[in-house]
Amino acid sequence: MKKGIVVVGHGSRATINEANDMVFEITQQVKEKAGHDLVETAIMNRMAKLQGLEEAVDKLIDKGAECITVAPMFFANGAHIQSDIPEMVRLIQAKYPGVVISIAGHIGADPRIADILLDRVNEVS
């Protein structure tokens, strides 16, 4: 079974585009670590006018994905995690009943984040 991954970030409508670029950069890192090309980026902020969740899933299915995991790149269990993403997945799942679409847990208060923060502190100390 061909498995696909959608990395979902909030993104931004800011003209600097740094928030959007970071999501694409992390998606590329996930793609490299996963060892396959069935990895797409989705941006929740529709004002950014970038690929959203449905478009990302469409692309993966066009490439042959039969099972897709949506991986939210969010720290907090906010509205996107609690309602927006699950509702979108429900609608997309209805469009593709033969494809299994699941949602991975959000990042949350993972202890590895504290390690990264301490690394950054130690870089300047």
* Structure tokens, 105: 């847990």
Q: How far, in whole angstroms, is CA 64 from its chain's centroid?
A: 19
* Structure tokens, 35: 């060892």
Task: Tell me how far apart the alpha carbons of residues 104 and 116 are, in angstroms, rounded to a whole number.
Answer: 22
- Strands 67-72 and 100-103 turn out to be parallel
Catalytic residue among 10, 36, 80, 106: 10
Considering Cα of 51, then 65, then 68, then 112, what sign does the dihedral take? Answer: negative
Count how many Cα atoms sit within 13 Å of the Cα of residue 45 in the half-sphere of its side chain. Answer: 13
Catalytic residue check, 10: yes
Q: Please list the active-site residues.
A: 10
